[in-house]
């Protein structure tokens, strides 16, 4: 009996393997190791401005820089959560101004306790997020449209809250102290030691968990190198800042928000659900994730964090006025995380991008102020940096798709 000839197996093209020395470059091109890219960019930015103006890296200017990025970075933490969800919130800037206005009016004109007024301002922000998130999820309207309407509507609410005067000065000491408190001496060094010890404990805990799960984990040497690097940064920053006024409380508040929400995103079920919804909403829904609740909660958190940022701004400027939350605040709050690697397409990024991106944007703005460049130049440069970051993000996404990683 004759047997039919078996067809030859079709050859499947195999993607060429890059030599190990190109592996890191490939990961950078695909959008990974974003922090490394940002740190290198920061070195370039600081070098350029230091050569242009020798006051840039002085302790006095770096303390001012820390104060400048604290409020914007706090708002950016909420923006990161929204971006991880694959959404956008264009109202965070004006919401920060409105909530600061509510706080100022309650405490300065109605005699509320500063602490109750701060809580009320944050509650108003959370309520705004609940409303906007509810509209987005209930009616299926793109978040871009809903929050753009909020950008206009909440501006009117701010004008109404401030009334005819248009400006409310901050005189309550507890609010002033948010941006006016500095830690120096032993207190500053203890705070730095706590940061280093916390990072070391978290790194060792993560290593033990991965080993128990049978996963590859960093070697003790790598963990030690990472802890040593964090120690150098923490103690170096402390030394520089304490050479002037000290470590600002506002910067400590920003770091606390970043650490807490980074833990939430990376270590909790809620955070994993946010990443899942941002990566593929339909797949997340089929997996049983409460998509509507996740989306609404993220908008609530984003607006509440915007309120916190607005309160920090009011504390630093000692007033709330009709322009609070306006100007380029929205641009800076969104540009920072995007520049630091948080994807506009959702599902990729870290909360630390709020701090790193804020540092990049803040350094550019601060350096141009020292050089007395006109506002037109500042806007064009900041817009160009944001556009470049978006292009890099889109190109990295295309490379991941071509590599079959999306």
pLDDT of residue 25: 47
Helix residue ranges per DSSP H, 109-248: 114-139, 143-162, 173-180, 185-212, 220-242
Q: What backbone phi and psi angles, to 5 degrees, belong to 248?
A: -70, 140
Indicate the average pLDDT of the chain. 87
Q: What is the pLDDT of residues 217-233, one digit of tens each?
A: 888 899 999 999 999 99
Closest CA to 248 of 69, 42, 46, 103: 69
pLDDT winner (highest mean) among 28-32, 37-41, 114-118, 241-245:
114-118
| CB atoms inside a 10 Å sphere around CB 260 | 12
| Confidence grade of residue 81 (pLDDT, cut at 50, 70, 90) | very high
pLDDT of residue 391: 80
Q: How buried is 28 (Cβ within 10 angstroms: 0-12 exposed, 13-18 middle, 19+ buried)? A: middle
The Cα–Cα gap between 286 and 264 comes to 23
The reply to whether 225 falls in a domain is no
Name the residue range of residue 370's domain. 70-181+273-392
Query: What CA dihedral angle connects 169, 170, 172 and 173, to 10 degrees?
Result: -130
DSSP one-letter string for 286-325: HTT--HHHHHHHHHHHHHHHHHHHHHHHHHHHTEEETTTT
The reply to whether 188 falls in a domain is no
Cross-strand bridge partners of residue 52? none
pLDDT of residue 325: 87
The reply to whether 220 falls in a domain is no
| Confidence grade of residue 400 (pLDDT, cut at 50, 70, 90) | low
Bridging pattern class, strands 167-169 and 319-321: antiparallel
Closest CA to 148 of 278, 330, 323, 14: 330
The reply to whether 251 falls in a domain is no
Q: What is the pLDDT of residues 340-370, one digit of tens each?
A: 888 877 778 889 989 998 898 889 889 998 8
Instruction: Express as a percent the part of the chain with pLDDT over 70.
Output: 89
Bigger pLDDT: 13 vs 106: 106
Residues 231-241 as b/e (b if ≥16 CB within 10 A, e otherwise) read beebbebbebb
Q: What is the pLDDT of residues 46-76, one digit of tens each?
A: 999 999 988 998 999 999 999 989 999 999 9
Residue 133's contacts (CB-CB under 8 Å, 6 or more residues apart) are 295, 296, 297, 298, 299, 300
Residue 23: pLDDT above 80? no
The reply to whether 238 falls in a domain is no
DSSP 3-state assignment of 346? coil
Helix residue ranges per DSSP H, 85-113: 92-108
| CB atoms inside a 10 Å sphere around CB 390 | 15
Mean pLDDT to the nearest integer, 113-135: 96
Question: Total domain count for the chain?
Answer: 1
The reply to whether 162 falls in a domain is yes
The reply to whether 241 falls in a domain is no
pLDDT of residue 76: 94
The reply to whether 186 falls in a domain is no
pLDDT of residue 33: 54
């Amino acid at each position: 009996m004759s047997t039919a000839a078996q067809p030859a197996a079709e050859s499947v093209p195999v993607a060429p393997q890059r030599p190990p020395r190109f592996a890191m470059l490939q990961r950078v091109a695909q959008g990974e190791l974003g922090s490394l890219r940002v740190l290198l960019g920061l070195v370039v930015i600081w070098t350029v401005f230091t050569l242009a103006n020798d006051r840039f890296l002085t302790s006095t200017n770096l303390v001012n820089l820390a104060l400048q990025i604290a409020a914007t970075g706090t708002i950016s933490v909420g923006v990161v959560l929204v971006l991880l969800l694959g959404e956008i919130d264009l109202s965070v800037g004006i919401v920060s101004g409105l909530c600061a206005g509510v706080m100022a009016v309650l405490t300065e004109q109605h005699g509320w306790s500063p602490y109750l007024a701060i809580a009320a301002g944050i509650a108003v922000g959370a309520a705004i997020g609940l409303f906007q998130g509810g509209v987005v999820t209930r009616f299926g309207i793109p978040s871009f449209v809903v929050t753009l309407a909020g950008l206009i509507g909440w501006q009117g609410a701010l004008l109404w809250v401030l009334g005819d005067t248009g400006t409310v000065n901050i005189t309550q000491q507890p609010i002033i102290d948010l941006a006016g408190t500095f830690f120096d001496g032993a207190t500053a060094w203890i705070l730095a030691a706590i940061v280093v010890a916390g990072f070391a404990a978290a790194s060792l805990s993560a290593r033990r968990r991965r080993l128990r799960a049978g996963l590859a984990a960093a070697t003790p040497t790598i963990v030690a190198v990472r802890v040593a690097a964090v120690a150098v940064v923490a103690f170096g920053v402390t030394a520089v800042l304490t050479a002037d006024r000290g470590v600002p409380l506002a910067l400590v508040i920003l770091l606390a928000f970043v650490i807490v929400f980074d833990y939430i995103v990376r270590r909790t079920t809620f955070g994993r659900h946010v990443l899942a919804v941002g990566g593929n909403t339909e797949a997340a829904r089929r997996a049983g994730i409460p998509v509507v609740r996740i989306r609404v909660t993220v908008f609530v958190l984003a607006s509440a964090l915007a309120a916190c940022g607005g309160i920090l701004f009011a504390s630093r400027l000692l007033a709330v006025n009709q322009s609070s939350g306006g100007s380029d605040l929205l641009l800076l709050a969104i540009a920072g995380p995007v520049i630091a690697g948080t994807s506009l397409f959702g599902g990729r990024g870290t909360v630390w991008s709020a701090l790193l991106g804020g540092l990049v944007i803040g350094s550019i703005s601060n350096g141009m102020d020292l050089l007395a460049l006109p506002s037109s130049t500042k806007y064009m440069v900041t817009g160009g940096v944001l556009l470049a970051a978006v292009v890099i993000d889109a190109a990295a996404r295309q490379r991941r798709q071509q590599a079959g990683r999306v």
